[in-house]
Amino acid sequence: MIKETEESLHLKIENAIYELMEKSKSTKLMPEKDLAEYFKVSRTTIREALNNMEKKSLIKKRKGHGNFMLRSVVNDKMALNIGGDFAKMIERAGYEPNLVREFQNYNYPSKKIRDELYLTPEDMVVTLKWIFYADDKSAVHVLIHIPKRLMQSLPEDGNSKTSEIDMTSTYKVNFGQQFSHVIAKIVASKNNEIAEFFNLDKETPLIMFDQIIYNIFDEKIGSSEIYLNPEIMNLSLILNLM
């Protein structure tokens, strides 16, 4: 039985659940009732601990499905869990945001993407391109790669005043997947093609979010590269994204 000391009971239970998660082979947690019995505390205490863990992006709650450990977050402690709202960032910079969505093509991905998504050399991906504009200036260039085997319907091209990248509906409608979260790492990158797209000098260093996309079961269902135009998306705006 876990006894309360100077440390709050909620935090002690949270740490105990975290340790239990690290040892578990399953991504689904025991029901709250079973956790309460296991740790010999009230369900209210368990619920509070789980709420705190969800805020830290260690678990994901799904109504009717239960609580799921985000093993990718637990294992990759140096990664950033980012839910991006690029249009709001553009608005903060004083511009009018606009999103243009394009279906690119079916293609054989690079070795890097194959390794990230556990694909074979024969597997193809669907590549989607989303461009966020600040007034008439390109601000964010997004390439999303999704295994072709997941595709159920072709995503539509179009323009949108939407305030966010709606990954949830895209995955649910077009790929039959329940989008959960992304793990993103920030890297400095030089990409001549993207720099030219932003009307910058080819040698201009760019900030890129290198992302892996996960479903509710913590399975990898896609990857993306997000390039930011440094003339519009400054560091303070990027930090507010996290």
Range of weakest confidence among 40-54, 74-88, 228-242: 74-88
Handedness of CA 153, 157, 162, 164 (dihedral sign): positive
Whether the per-residue pLDDT at 153 is higher than 80: the answer is no
**CB of 39 within 8 A of CB of 13?**
yes
How far from each other are the two terminal CA atoms of the chain, in whole angstroms? 37
Q: What is the pLDDT of residues 75-127, one digit of tens each?
A: 665 454 444 567 778 888 888 888 888 777 889 999 999 999 999 999 999 99
C-alpha to C-alpha distance for 201 and 199, rounded to whole angstroms:
7
Given pLDDT bands bounded at 50, 70 and 90, which one contains residue 157?
A: low
- Domains for the chain: give ranges and CATH numbers: 9-69 (1.10.10.10), 86-241 (3.40.1410.10)
pLDDT, residue 164, reads 44
- pTM, two decimals, is 0.68
| Radius of gyration in angstroms for the set of CA atoms belonging to the chain, rounded to a whole number | 20
